[in-house]
Chain A
C-alpha cells in the first residue's frame, strides 16, 4: 500500500480535485450509458411483445 492514511489518499498530494474529478466523470458516464442502454432494451422488448400480441 502506497498511502499512510485515508486523508493522504483523498488529498492525492494536492491533486485530489483533478484525480477524483476524472474518476467521477468516468464512472458517471459509464453508469449513465449503462442505464440508457438498459432502458432502451426494456423499450425494445416491450415493442416486440406488443407486436407479437397483435399478431
Chain B
C-alpha cells in the first residue's frame, strides 16, 4: 500500500501498533515490570500497615472485617483481569496481533489465582460473619463460574499443539465468558443474596472510616500492580518460548 509520502511501506495505524511487534513488546514489558514491582511492594507495605495497624475496629463485624483488605482487591481483580483477558483476546482475533494473544494467555493464571483467593478469603470471612464457609448464593456461585471459565480458557489453550490456533479458539471462549462479569457485579442487586452490597460505589461517598478506605485503596493498588508485574513477566516467558529460534530473542535473553 502506498502512503501519502510516496513510501511503499504502510505507516502503522497507531503508535500502539508498534508494540504488536514482539521485539518492541518485549522491550516495553522489560521496562514496565520493575516499575510495577516497586509500586506493588511499597503500596502493599503501606496498605498492610494502615489496614492492620491503624484502621479502627468495625462496629458490626469486629476485627474480622480486616479480611476486606485482601478479599475486596482480589475480587475486583478477578473481574478486571477477566475483562482485560477478553479485551486482549478480542484485539488478537480482530487484528491478528500475536502480542495481544500472548497478553490474554499471560493474564489467565493470575486471574484464576485471584478468583481462587477471592473465594478462599470470602470463605474465611463468611464463617465468622455468616456462620458458614459457603452458600450457593448468586454472588458466590457466579464467582465460582468465573474460576471455571479461567480454568476452561487455560485448558482449551493447552489442548492445541499449534499456538496460533490455540490463541484463536481460547479467545472465543474468553469473549463469550465475559458476560459473566456483569452478572457477578450486579448479582447482589438482581437477586436476594447473603453477600453484602458493594463496599465502595463510584456514585456515592464511601461510608467507611477514612483510614479503612485508605488501607483498602493502598492494598488494591498493591495487588493490581503485582498482577500487572507478574502478568507482564509471564508474557515475557511466553514470548521467549515462542520466539526461541529468533536471533533477537537470543540477544534479549543474554541481557536479562
Chain B residues near A14 (CB, 8 Å)?
62-63
B244 in contact with A18 (CB, 8 Å)? no
* Contact present for A49 and B116 (CB under 8 Å): no
Known contacts A2-B54, A37-B233, A19 near B117 by CB under 8 Å = no
Which B residues between 195 and 250 are near A, CB-CB below 8 angstroms? 226, 230, 233-234, 236-237, 240-241, 244-245, 247, 249-250
Distance A37 CA – B256 CA, assembled complex (angstroms): 14
Interface string of A1-45 (1 = CB under 8 A from B): 111000001001111001101110110011001100100110011
A16 to B205, CA, bound (A): 30
Does the CB pair B236–A48 fall under 8 Å?
no
B64 touches A48 (CB 8 A): no
B82 within 8 A of partner (CB): no
- Give A39's nearest chain B residue, CB to CB: B237
> If the complex has contacts A22-B71, A47-B244, are A15 and B250 also in contact, measured as CB distance less than 8 A?
no
Which of the listed residues B63, B125, B127, B236 has the most CB atoms from chain A within 10 Å of its own CB?
B63
CA distance A18 to B110 in the complex (A): 23
Nearest Cβ on chain B to A33's Cβ, whole angstroms: 6
Whether the Cβ atoms of A49 and B253 lie closer than 8 Å is yes
Which residue in chain B gives the minimum CB-CB distance to A40? B237
B51-81 at interface with A (beta carbon < 8 Å): 52-57, 62-64, 66-67, 70-71, 74
B residues near A22, Cβ cutoff 8 Å = 67, 70-71, 120-121, 124-125
Instruction: Please determine whether B240 and A45 come into contact, CB atoms closer than 8 angstroms.
Output: yes
Please report whether the interface of chain B is mostly helix, strand, loop or mixed according to DSSP.
Answer: helix
In the complex formed, the residue of A with least CB distance to B127 is A18
A41 near B249: Cβ-Cβ < 8 Å: no
Q: How many interface residues does chain A have, given as a range? A: 20 to 34
**Min CB gap B77→A, angstroms:** 11
| B62–A47 CB distance below 8 A | no
Chain A residues with Cβ below 8 Å from B128 are 15, 18
Contact A26 B250 (CB under 8 A): no
Contacts of B63 in A (CB 8 A): 12-15, 19
Check B113 for interface membership: any CB of A closer than 8 A.
Answer: yes
Chain B residues near A44: list those with CB within 8 A. 236-237, 240-241, 244, 253
Q: Which of A15, A29, A40, A49 contacts B62 (CB 8 A)?
A: A15
Bound Cα distance from A29 to B121, whole angstroms: 12
Q: Hey, which chain B residues are within 8 Å of A3, CB to CB?
A: 53
In the assembled complex, 21 residue pairs joining A and B whose CB atoms fall closer than 8 Å, in A order, are A3-B53, A9-B53, A13-B62, A13-B64, A14-B63, A15-B62, A15-B64, A18-B127, A19-B63, A19-B124, A23-B70, A25-B120, A34-B230, A41-B237, A44-B253, A45-B240, A45-B253, A47-B240, A49-B253, A51-B245, A52-B253
Enumerate chain B interface residues (CB-CB to A < 8 A): 52-57, 62-64, 66-67, 70-71, 74, 109-110, 113, 116-117, 120-121, 124-125, 127-128, 226, 230, 233-234, 236-237, 240-241, 244-245, 247, 249-250, 253-254, 256
